[in-house]
Structure 1
Amino acid sequence: MSSRRRLLTASSCLIVLLAVGGTVVAQMEAGDRGILPIDSTGTLEIDGIHVDVGGKDAASARYAGWRIAQREGFKKLWAKQHGRPESEAPNLSDSVLDGLVSSIVVDRENIGPTRYIADLGILFDRARAGELLGMSGEVRRSAPMLLVPVMISGGTATTVEIKNPWQRAWAQFRTSQSPVDYVRISGMGVDPLLVNAAQTGRPGRGWWRNIIDLYGAADILVAEVSVQRLYPGGPAYARFVGRHGPDGEILGGFDLKAKDSADIPRMMAEGVQRMDELFTRALAAGELVRDPTLITVEPPPPVEDELAAIQPVAQVPLSGIQIQILTRDDAGLNNAVAQLRTIPGMEGVGVRGGDKGWSILFVNFRGNNVTLASAIRARGWTVSDVNGTLRVVPALQIPGAPSGQ
């Protein structure tokens, strides 16, 4: 069997069918465009384990092969985590490993009457295996990076507009063990309209900002592969190029070969692994620096009206005050009234009458007699308070003017 599929162990084998109106909804490949990415946040994967074992029958040989794969898988994962040889990894019993392994991935297998040959991958439960693997604390990861997988074949560049083996390989890639925080697109909804191959060649920052904000990312990574075939179904040569940012800055590239069409999924899976290593090296070297033009600048706060910015001041009570002022004639009266109206806090000035050159005024003033008297004196006038009435003599009056009624 050459197709890649996951075989769950007996402890975790559970098939859930969601029937809606008599229709079974497929979870992995819903839709005709892209493929939903695998959620690998709770697992740790090690692949490339080759087993060749015999048994009294096919089932026994397969069971023995899976046991061997579990043991070798834990040692490989331990060595990978610690950067040390597999010989130093602890030896765990099969019963303990059964509790750590969540599933077994079959890449290739050949089953004979008494022999089992296969290439397998092992998925370990992150929560249960983490402590035995010496994984503690948080792993430092990059900022969220929107991953755009572009495949060029036959002169046509696509991302998730149609299903293709490059996007499938990225959807099947388990990103939880990578320091790069990938944001992968699935091809559902508006993905083919917003994140298509043409978008990777557009330099407009405004549109890019809208896209990465929509997908909750902070930057862009483009994984591009160009595939050339000698003839249909024959060998395929692929050139892989990793790009970064809205301008498509090249981070590196490599070449791979598939012997025929059936070998292309294997080539794409290897290409994803090597592309992740390329992005990881760029991250470690400090090359994945976010383009400052992708940062959304918050608009400045609106300028507040000057009057609105002034804190309200408590209003001084309005008082009615009577003034007796020396005016002598109508011109002097008009001048005195005009002068009084310019005093701050003066709300109104009314003439009540007059006699012998003195005029009686009644004013509405925000304040009391003392405040108004001080304001009038500040103009150079003479003021005296007689039983609550302010007697005012304007400046430049003729000496000897009467001082009373």
Structure 2
Amino acid sequence: MPSPRRTAFLTITAVAALAVGGALVAQMESGDRGIPPIDSSGTLEITGIHVDVGGKTGAEARYAGWRVAQREGFKAMWAKSRGRPVSEAPNLPDSVLDGLVSSIIIEREQIGPNRYIADLGILFDRARAGEMLGVAGQVRRSAPMLLIPVMISAGSPVAVESRNPWQRAWAQFRTVQSPIDYVRVSGTGVDPLLVNAAQVRRPGRAWWRNILDLYGAANVLVAEVELRRLYPGGPSIARFTGSFGPDRQLLGSFELTAKDSADLPRMMNEGVQRMDALFAQAAAAGIVRGDPSLIIVPPPPPVEEKEAVKPTGPDTAIQLIVETPDPASLQAAIGYIRNTPGVQAVTERSLAFGGTSTLFVTYAGDIDALRNALLARNWNVSQAGGTLRISRRPATLPSAPPSPQGNPSP
């Protein structure tokens, strides 16, 4: 169940969405946005496996090419994960590799009558191949980082407001082996209103604090690419820049080129991998980390009021017989008895000035406890059954007794 604070934040966002007009609503309903990030928690990926295989037919050559890609992919993944040369990787039979490979990614392929040329990627099942590849353990991850991919083309910046090659490359990036714990948005729902190209230039940390709290992140990473095309469909030059935090601390930049529009996805995928390496280096250096000032700390729970501790034991009605030579002595006796710890109430039953008066005392305890309490307050006490007879000690009793808490009944 969402907290009241998050509900209020989403309500304000919804009102803002209505205020921008029907054009934006129509654009949101057009289906031109929303690339959900793939779940890579159960796979290990190696890309860029080039094969050039011949066969009697195109289908046979393709099948043989995939077999070669499995073998070469396992060796490349083994060498990458262990930091050792490819020549030292074991040669596994195809029957074993068939049980380790989850799927084959076709990056680029050309199929001829008796030849197959392709660039492929191999996905290994992490549970079955992790131990053989030396990556069975968990990767140490950073604090959750909200990733905002910004693409600038023809001078117009865009993040997740509409589909673009840069967002697609990040959505398809498999983060299982990355030390960065990315929080990637899909571009659906309120994402275009909160995580957009304008937001990365917003200096207000209060708004950033609300956004990061909504997405469960501790800080923000901005991956920006500025794409320049020499002419439509022709070569492209892209400058990639990585920054960190609401203040956009520069982490580094690099340039890549694509020979034509068909080569653009390859360039974007390479840019994602190099950008991830840039973020990982910054995290290892202690630059990319969570910011406590951007984390909303929930208020402490309300302090529960504790009831006053009452004397133990059930309330008992006890009869007291007290000497009352005059009205002043009666009021003094009632005042002292009411001030005795554990006494709940004092009721006058019969009055006899110049003799003895009878009082009923409601006491939180038994008669023995009341007897000891009155003895401690310098009274002479004698007990007869369920009745206590008390008298003052003239030598120790003050001559001016304290005022009683209430007036006795006439």
Q: Which residue of 2 aligns with 1:390?
A: 389
Q: Which residue of 2 aligns with 1:353?
A: 351
1:353-405 Cα offsets, whole Å, 9 max, x none, are: 326x23423232416666556655666566666784525247489xxxxxxxx
How big is the shift at 1:169? 0.7
Q: Which residue of 1 aligns with 2:58?
A: 58
Q: Which residue of 2 aligns with 1:104?
A: 104
Change (3 A) 1:372 1:120: closer
How big is the shift at 1:340? 4.3
**CA–CA separation in structure 2 for the residues paired with 1:386 and 1:129:** 91
**CA–CA separation in structure 2 for the residues paired with 1:369 and 1:186:** 76
1:37-76 superposed matches below 5 A: 37-76=37-76
The unaligned stretches of length 5 or more in structure 1 are 1-29, 398-405
Q: Which residue of 1 aligns with 2:246?
A: 246
Q: Which residue of 1 aligns with 2:257?
A: 257
User: Does residue 359 of structure 2 align to residue 362 of structure 1?
Assistant: yes
**CA–CA separation in structure 2 for the residues paired with 1:342 and 1:311:** 17
- The code of the aligned residue for 1:277 comes to A
1:307-326 superposed matches below 5 A: 308-326=306-324
Q: Which residue of 2 aligns with 1:6?
A: none
Q: Which residue of 1 aligns with 2:219?
A: 219
**CA–CA separation in structure 2 for the residues paired with 1:393 and 1:70:** 105
**CA–CA separation in structure 2 for the residues paired with 1:83 and 1:339:** 89
How big is the shift at 1:253? 1.4
1:67-114 Cα offsets, whole Å, 9 max, x none, are: 322222222111111111111111222333333333222222222333
**CA–CA separation in structure 2 for the residues paired with 1:252 and 1:353:** 97
157-166 vs 106-115, greater mean Cα deviation: 106-115
- TM-score normalised by L of structure 1: 0.78
How big is the shift at 1:162? 0.3
How big is the shift at 1:291? 0.7
1:203-214 superposed matches below 5 A: 203-214=203-214
Change (3 A) 1:85 1:393: closer
- TM-score normalised by L of structure 2: 0.77
1:152-185 Cα offsets, whole Å, 9 max, x none, are: 2233222111000000111111222222222221
When Rg is computed on C-alpha atoms for both structures, the one with the higher figure is: 1
Q: What is the RMSD of the two structures over their aligned residues, measured on CA atoms? A: 3.0
Contact 1:340/1:346 (8 A) holds in 2: no
1:39-88 Cα offsets, whole Å, 9 max, x none, are: 22222222212222333332333333323222222221111111111111
1:261-299 Cα offsets, whole Å, 9 max, x none, are: 333222211110100111121222222221111333242
Change (3 A) 1:350 1:130: closer
Secondary structure (helix, strand or coil) at the match of 1:354 reads coil
Contact 1:34/1:167 (8 A) holds in 2: no
Structure number with higher helix proportion: 2
The unaligned stretches of length 5 or more in structure 2 are 1-29, 397-410
**CA–CA separation in structure 2 for the residues paired with 1:47 and 1:386:** 100
Contact 1:42/1:127 (8 A) holds in 2: yes
Contact 2:151/2:159 (8 A) holds in 1: yes
**CA–CA separation in structure 2 for the residues paired with 1:375 and 1:112:** 108
**CA–CA separation in structure 2 for the residues paired with 1:251 and 1:44:** 27
Contact 1:161/1:192 (8 A) holds in 2: yes
- The code of the aligned residue for 1:153 comes to S
Change (3 A) 1:157 1:273: same
Q: Which residue of 1 aligns with 2:193?
A: 193
Q: Which residue of 1 aligns with 2:289?
A: 289
Q: How many residues align?
A: 364
330-339 vs 247-256, greater mean Cα deviation: 330-339
Q: Which residue of 2 aligns with 1:12?
A: none
Secondary structure (helix, strand or coil) at the match of 1:268 reads helix
Contact 1:384/1:392 (8 A) holds in 2: no
- The code of the aligned residue for 2:58 comes to A
Secondary structure (helix, strand or coil) at the match of 1:175 reads coil
Secondary structure (helix, strand or coil) at the match of 1:177 reads coil
1:16-95 superposed matches below 5 A: 31-95=31-95
Secondary structure (helix, strand or coil) at the match of 2:223 reads strand
**CA–CA separation in structure 2 for the residues paired with 1:385 and 1:60:** 113
Contact 1:44/1:126 (8 A) holds in 2: yes
